[in-house]
Structures are given as C-alpha cells and as structure tokens.
Chain A
Amino acid sequence: MRTTLTATYRSLQANLNRSGVRLQDLRLMAASGRRINRPSDDPAAIAPMLQTQDRLRAAGRYQSTISTTLGRMDNLDSRMEQLENLMVQAKEIAIAAGNGSASESDRASYAQQIQLLREEVYHLANAQEDGKYLFAGYAQGSKPFPDADDPLTYAGDDGIIEMEIGPGEKVRTNLTGAELFQGAGGGVNLLAVLAELEQNITAGDASALSNQLDRLDQAADQVRSQRSLMGTLAQRVERAGDRMADYKDDMTALLSNYRDADLIETYSQLAQQEQAFTAALSVTGKISQLSILDYL
C-alpha cells in the first residue's frame, strides 16, 4: 500500500467538506432555533407537525370566538336584567292600582306608567347590537316586533344562533323574541299581559287585576329562568375559554417538540463540530509542511 499526496489531500478535502456541511446545518439550526427547516429534515414528523400548527391556529380562533360570545352573552344578560326589573315594577304598579283606595286620577297615572313600561319592554324586544336585532332569531336585519300595539305579531324566526367554542363544541348564544317575550311553547306573552294590565287599570276592574298579578309573576319567572339558562351557558363558555388556554399551551409545547431544536444540545454540538473543523484545518496545514523535498 502506497500513500500518495493526491490521496491524502483528497481525503482531507472530503473530510473538510463533510465537516463544513455539518457545521452549516448546525449553525442554521442554532440560528433558526428549529430542528425542521425543510421537509427532508424529518419526513416522518411533517404531517403531525402541520396538524399541530393548524390546531394551534384554530385554538387562537376559538379563543377569539369565545371572547366575542362572552361579550354577547353579557350584553344579553344585562338586557334581561332590565326586563326582569321592568316586570317587577309592573307588578308593584299592578298591586298599587288594585288597592281599592286608588282614585280615578291615580288609576290614570298608573295606566300611563304601565304604558311607558310597555313601551320600554317593546324597545327592549327590538334591542339592537351593531345594527342587528338581538331577539329576531336569524332574521337580524328586521324589527322582530314592528307594531307596539300588536303583541301577537313576531316578525323574527326561531333561529338558534350557535357559536363554536371548541372543536365540535357549540353553544347557543341567543334567545328568540318568541320565546322570551311571547312565551312560545307554553309560556306567558309579556307584551299581551302588559297591554291587558293597562286596559284593566284604566277600566278599574279589580278582579281582573288580581288575575293579572299571577300572570305577572309567571312572566317574571319566565324571564328569570331564561336568564339563568343563559347564565349557565355563559359559565360553560367561560370554562371553555380556560380550557382553550390550556389546550393552546399544550399545542404550543407539542409543536415545539416536533419542530424546535434543543438549543443546549445544538450549541454543544456546534462547539464540538467547530473544534473538529479547526482540527481538520490544522492537520491540513501540517501536511503541507511535511515533504521529502526538504530532506534531499
């Protein structure tokens, strides 16, 4: 076996090349902080990595949906609180008006109060948010209760608006005017009750008035129970928000697991490789100093 200078230099060059490529890869890894910079870096990890990336993006979207939903539900809740108060007020007025000592002019004043109250309830029933009617179902573009004197007309629909607050997890975020105000499905029609109440007070019909008191109680209960239903849903949304934050953290960790380089390991490998490269360079330098020509 003979060694020739060409062979020696060729081997050195091949080693330097390989060392250089490895050094470059490690530098890229350290600079980008990523283990996978292109599909060939780890073909098996690509599909799960992309999926995790998607889920992370989706989690961000769910979080923003959740905060929108919560805002909407808060809004709905405050309207219902108003409605509840109005119903309590109506009952107080009804009791006062039912008192036998009320004079004609008192009754007229009570009737006027009820009328104002009724207008307020109509106003609530046609409440808008961002130009959309809250209690109109899907038909948010048009007034659900167009005629203040006609408690039986509902121009909205039965649309239940759901929001997706997690993968496949949907919650209802609205109440239709028919359910809340007209008592669709066996409830009390608040608008009709108030209209009748006004008539009864004006007419001074004491027995009818005491009848109305029961219906007013039922109406207040109806509002309260719907409000508590929405309150429970809002809590669920809030909890989903907390869960989504956890989920997002998990996905971030998982993505990092797939994609990111272990920096400590990378840096130590980089240092190691730099040393190897320096050694290879210095050997190359030494080789050229050793020649038979110096000894002849």
Chain B
Amino acid sequence: MSGLSSALNLGKSSLATHQKLIEVAGNNIANVNTPGYSRQVANLATVPALNMRGFLVGQGVTVSSVQREQDVFLTRQLRDKNAALGEQAAKTSHLTELERIFDIGDNSLSSRINEFFDAWQQLSANPGGSVERNAVLQQGALVADGFQTAQKDLQRLGSQIDDTLAAKLGDINLKLQQVADFNQRISTVEATGVSANSDRDQRDLLLQELSYTLGVQAYENSNGTVSVQLGNGLPLVEGNRAMSLEAGQDGDKMTFAVNLGSTTRPLDGNSLGGEFKGLLSLRDELIPQVQGQLDQLAHALVTEVNALHAAGTGQDGSTGVLFFRNLTNASGAAAGIGVAITDSRQLAAGQNAGEGDNRNALAMAALAESKVLGGTDTFTTFYGNLASRVGLAGAQNRLSQTGLEDTLVQLQNLRDSKVGVSLEEEMINLIQFQRGFEASAKLLTTVDEMMETVLSIKR
C-alpha cells in the first residue's frame, strides 16, 4: 500500500506542477502586450528520491522557481539609447518653432530689411515726394517691428522651455520615489529567496523612462536594489531613499538642483542627459547664440543707417538727425530698435536741403549691398547665415532622431526576441503542458484502479 499511496502523491505533484506550468504560460500570454514585461519560465525539479527497500525511487516533480528571462546588456543599451533619443526628441518642436521665427519666406526679417532699402531706392527717384518719404518711414517701422517680434518670440521660446522642464519635475520625482519603493519591495521579497519578477520588470521600465527624461545611470546592488545616479555621479535613488529635483529662479532663467536632504546641489547641462540635456542646451546655447547674432544684425543696421542719415540733410534743412533711436551697444539691440523720426520732412534724402537732391537716398540704398557686418557679410547674407545655422540644427536633429528611433526599434525587437513573449511558443507550450497534465491524470486513475483491485482481494 505504501508504494501505491506514494504513487498517488507523485501523481498529485505532477498534476499541480503542470497546472502551475499552464498558469505561468497563461500569465505570459496575458502580458503579451505589457510594456517592459519579461517572459517568465517555471523551473522544474524532481522531488528528492526516497530509498525504498534498497531502491531510490523518484517522488514526483515540483516547480523550484519561476524566473524571468533577462539580458543585462540589452537593458543597459535600451537605457542609453533612450537617453540619446530623449535629448533629440525634446528639441524637435522647439527647433521647429525656431525655424518659424527665422523664416525665409516673403515676410521674413530679411525681406523686411530689403524692402526698407528698396523704399530708399524708390525715394531716390523722387526725393521730394511725400508718399515715398512716408513709405520709407513705414518700412523702417516694419523692420523694427520684425526685430522686436523675433526677439519676443525667442524670449518666449526660452520661457516655454523652462515651463516644459518645470512640468516634468513632478513626474520625475514621482518616478524616483517609485524606484525607491520598488527597491524596498524587491529587497524584502528576494531576501526570502523568491524572485520578484514583475517588480523588476516595472523598475526597469521606470529606469528607462527616467533615462529618457533625465539620462540617469543605474547600477544594481547585491541585495537587488538599484542605485540611480546622474551623469556626474550625483545620487538620485539610494536603496529605499529617493532624492528630489527642485526648480529655482536665477534672474529670468530657471535653475535646477537636487535636494540631497541636508544640502542641495545645482545641476547644469553637463550633469544631465535625455530631454533635460536637449532642452537646456537649446535654452543655454543655441538660443543665446542666435539672440546674439540677431542683436548684432540690429545693431549694425541701426549704426550704419543712423551714420548715413545724420550726415544727410532733411527737406526742412535739418541735419544730424538719427533715423533709428540711438543704441549704445549691441546687447539688447533687437529689443530696443525703433524709428526715431516722426516727421517725414526730416528724412535726409539729400546732402543739402534741395528738393531734388537724392544723393543720400542713393547712398542709403547702396547699404543693402555693402558688406557692413565684419566686412564679410551684407545684412541679407548675415541673416541667411543665421537662418541656415538654425536650419542646420533642425536638420541634424531630424537626422539623429530618425537614426535613434531606428536603433531603438532594433534594440526593442532584439529584446523581444530574447525576453519577450512569443504567442506561438506559448501556444505550443500550452499543448505540451496540457498533455503532461492529461498523462498525470491518467496515472492517478491507473493507481486508483490498482487500489480498488487491491481492496477487492478480501470480500
């Protein structure tokens, strides 16, 4: 009897084990579309054999552990590439806006400057005409307006970037806290020898997302927790403790710092990666550069036009009149530019007060084609270079983003092929496990029949 009942036990363990296998397969199938899910595998082991009258007889099967497939290399690659993609992707919409500001169409700043000089050329054909005089004033106002609009748009773009970054802080701090919570749970669960599979999956996913926004680096410790750091080694998560990011204000710029509990440490573009790095590099590098060039253009225009204009004579005999408001230095020129003349009679078309004198108007019109910026650029080519610099940044961004997206798709496909759920595989496993389950059931019926036979020996 003892043999038969142990065979019953054996059948029971086999039934339970196959049931477990089907559960694991079912869980895999259920999570086929869960982002970050890694396929789980049940490891089977035989129950230790018993010595029966000198023979070692197996006692059935058991699920020793349920493990998740993982590939550390791919996980790290995915994090790195996500950080790189975040850096590029965050810039796209702002670069598009920048391209809109430095437009090359018929209403661009360059066109307006050119139309301004064109108005002078027109004035030279009829220097006494009040229509032509007013046209020059109006075109001058349009140029000033163009500069100011571009300047305001640039500034708005800077503050939009600040807003975008500030809006991300809450989400980042929440995710850092979640990573710390997962650290706590994983270390507690795994101390008992069980693998905390789904928690690890979710933590990996969180780290990937943090990498995308912040470019973090993560290292796993022996107790199963991960340490999350910034590029320059500032800790963000240590064990079950999460630091938080804070925003501050420095003048009209937003600054960021890590609150380490006792102290705060400031963050700059270099310590960051991902979206933060991309946006900060736009805000702190490209936009100020472009802004500087815009100021330079405005300053050169004001200086050159004023010098010529002051040397000429207006219709009313006035001399030394400035066309644009005087600007002392280049910084802030684009914001400060404005037409100073209000009376069109003061417009200096000539070099004496004669109605027919067009010498100054001709000289002014010739400014459009003279290389007044650094001796190498006309107003138009300078603007052209500025627009092409912005365009280059946009084109580069588009190119690297497409490249990185492709790389990420490849990496994710590679990860899927290693640790993802394949429905075909799970289906076949299901068939296999079902057959195993059926066979175990058959074993039980057989043993049951045998027991009945044994019991029927004594009537």
A and B associate: yes
Number of interface residues of A (CB under 8 A): 55
Q: How far is the CA of A138 from the CA of B127 in the complex (A)?
A: 10
Contact B412 A10 (CB under 8 A): yes
Contact A161 B356 (CB under 8 A): yes
B122: chain A residues within 8 A (beta carbon): 61, 64
A6: chain B residues within 8 A (beta carbon): 32-33, 416, 420-421
Minimum CB–CB distance from B312 to chain A (whole Å) comes to: 12
> At the interface, yes or no: B46 with Cβ under 8 Å from chain A?
no
Contact A65 B125 (CB under 8 A): yes
Q: How far is the CA of A159 from the CA of B398 in the complex (A)?
A: 59
Of chain A, the residue at the smallest CB distance from B118 is: A61
Chain A, 32-64, CB within 8 A of any chain B CB: 36, 38-44, 46-51, 53-54, 57-58, 61, 64
A139: chain B residues within 8 A (beta carbon): 354-356
> At the interface, yes or no: B380 with Cβ under 8 Å from chain A?
yes
Contacts beyond the supplied A39-B394, A47-B387, A65-B125: 10 A-B pairs with Cβ under 8 Å: A38-B103, A39-B99, A41-B395, A47-B388, A48-B384, A49-B384, A50-B108, A54-B114, A54-B368, A68-B125
Number of interface residues of B (CB under 8 A): 68
> At the interface, yes or no: B432 with Cβ under 8 Å from chain A?
no
Contact A132 B355 (CB under 8 A): yes
Contact A3 B388 (CB under 8 A): no
Q: How far is the CA of A47 from the CA of B373 in the complex (A)?
A: 14
A64: chain B residues within 8 A (beta carbon): 122, 125
Report if A137-B380 is in contact (Cβ < 8 Å); known contacts: A4-B417, A4-B423, A7-B417. no
Q: Interface with B: A162-170, A223-231, A244-252, which one?
A: A162-170
Contact B392 A40 (CB under 8 A): yes
Contact B387 A39 (CB under 8 A): yes
| A6-31 interface code vs B (CB 8 A; 1 in, 0 out) | 11001100100010000000000000
> At the interface, yes or no: A264 with Cβ under 8 Å from chain B?
no
Contact A136 B356 (CB under 8 A): yes
Q: Interface with A: B250-258, B297-305, B337-345, B357-365, which one?
A: B357-365
Chain B contacts to A: CB under 8 angstroms:
32-33, 95-96, 99-100, 102-104, 108, 110-111, 114-115, 118, 121-122, 124-126, 128, 350, 352, 354-359, 362, 365-366, 368-369, 378, 380-381, 383-385, 387-395, 398, 402, 405-406, 409, 412-413, 416-418, 420-425, 427-428, 431
17 inter-chain pairs at a CB distance below 8 angstroms, sorted by A residue, are A2-B420, A6-B33, A10-B412, A10-B416, A11-B413, A14-B406, A14-B409, A47-B381, A47-B385, A47-B387, A49-B104, A54-B114, A54-B368, A68-B125, A157-B354, A162-B359, A164-B124
A138: chain B residues within 8 A (beta carbon): 350, 352, 354-357
Closest 6 CB pairs of A and B: A138-B354, A39-B391, A47-B384, A40-B394, A43-B391, A140-B356
Contact A14 B405 (CB under 8 A): yes
Q: How far is the CA of A50 from the CA of B381 in the complex (A)?
A: 7
Contact B102 A39 (CB under 8 A): yes
Contact B412 A7 (CB under 8 A): yes
Contact B128 A43 (CB under 8 A): no
Chain A contacts to B: CB under 8 angstroms:
1-7, 10-11, 14, 18, 36, 38-44, 46-51, 53-54, 57-58, 61, 64-65, 68-69, 132, 136-141, 157, 159, 161-164, 167-168, 170, 174, 291-293, 296
